[in-house]
Structure 1
Amino acid sequence: MQTTTKLVLLLAGSLLAFAQAVSADTIETKDGARLVGTVVKIDGGNVTLATAYAGNITVKQAEIVRIDTEKPLVVRLQGGTTMAGTLASEGDGKVVLSGNDGAITTGVDKLATTWGVGETDPAILAQQRKWSYEATFDLGGKTGNNEKFGVGAGFLAKLTGPDDTLQFYTKYFYEKSDGDVSDDRFLAGIDYSRNFSERVSWYARDEGGYDNEKDIDFYNIAAAGFGYDFAKRDNWKLTGRLGLSYRYETYGDPTMDDVKSAGLDVGLINYYRFNDYAVMNNTLSYVPAFDDFGDYRFLHDSNLEFPIGSSEWRLRIGVTNDYTSRPASDKERMDTTYYTKFLLRWQ
Structure 2
Amino acid sequence: MLSRTLFCLAAFSAVSSAAFADTVWLKNGDRLTGTIKLLDSKKLLLQTDYGGSIPLSWDKVATLQRDKPVLVQRGEYESNIEVKSLKPASQGQVIVETEQQGVQTVPLASISQIVPPRPLLHDFSWKGNIDAALNYKRADKDTDDYDIDFKTQARHGMWRHNAQGSYDREKKDGAVSTDNWSLQYALDRFFNERFFWQGRLSYDRDKVEEISRQRNIGTGPGYQFWDNELGAFSLTALLARADYQYRDGDKDSFYSVSMKWDYNRYVYGQTVQLFTIGEVGRPLDNTASFSLDTDVGLRYKVTNWASLNLKASKQLVSGAKGSLNETQYSAGIGVTW
Of 294, 309, 312, 1:316 maps to 309
2:319 corresponds to 1:326: yes
Label 1:132 to 1:145 Cα distance change in 2 as closer, same or farther (>3 A).
Answer: same
Of 176, 181, 185, 1:190 maps to 185
Alpha-carbon distance in 2 for matches of 1:138, 1:185: 15
Counterpart residue number, 1:341: 332
8 Å Cα contact 2:159-2:187 kept in structure 1: yes
Which secondary structure does the structure 2 equivalent of 1:291 belong to? coil
Alpha-carbon distance in 2 for matches of 1:124, 1:325: 42
Alpha-carbon deviations, 1:57-80, whole Å to 9, x = none?
Answer: 632646459xxxxxxxxxxxxxxx
Alpha-carbon distance in 2 for matches of 1:144, 1:312: 35
* 2:64 partner amino acid: T
Of 146, 153, 158, 2:148 maps to 153
Normalization by structure 2: what TM-score?
0.63
Larger Rg: 1
Alpha-carbon distance in 2 for matches of 1:230, 1:38: 33
Unaligned runs of 5+ in 2: 1-17, 20-28, 39-45, 49-59, 67-84, 90-102, 105-117
Counterpart residue number, 1:243: 238
Shift, 1:231, TM fit: 4.7
Counterpart residue number, 1:306: 300
Shift, 1:129, TM fit: 0.8
Q: What does 1:104-253 correspond to in 2, within 5 Å?
A: 127-231=122-226, 234-253=229-248
8 Å Cα contact 2:287-2:320 kept in structure 1: no
Alpha-carbon distance in 2 for matches of 1:156, 1:337: 18
* 1:283 partner amino acid: I
How many residues were matched structurally?
Answer: 252
Alpha-carbon distance in 1 for matches of 2:120, 2:235: 28
Shift, 1:156, TM fit: 3.4
2:65 corresponds to 1:59: yes
Normalization by structure 1: what TM-score?
0.62
8 Å Cα contact 1:173-1:183 kept in structure 2: yes
* 2:326 partner amino acid: D
8 Å Cα contact 1:245-1:287 kept in structure 2: no
Alpha-carbon distance in 2 for matches of 1:38, 1:175: 50
Q: What is the percentage of aligned positions where both structures have the same residue? A: 16
Higher relative contact order (CA 8 A, sep 6+): 2
8 Å Cα contact 2:120-2:193 kept in structure 1: no
Unaligned runs of 5+ in 1: 1-23, 26-34, 66-107, 110-122
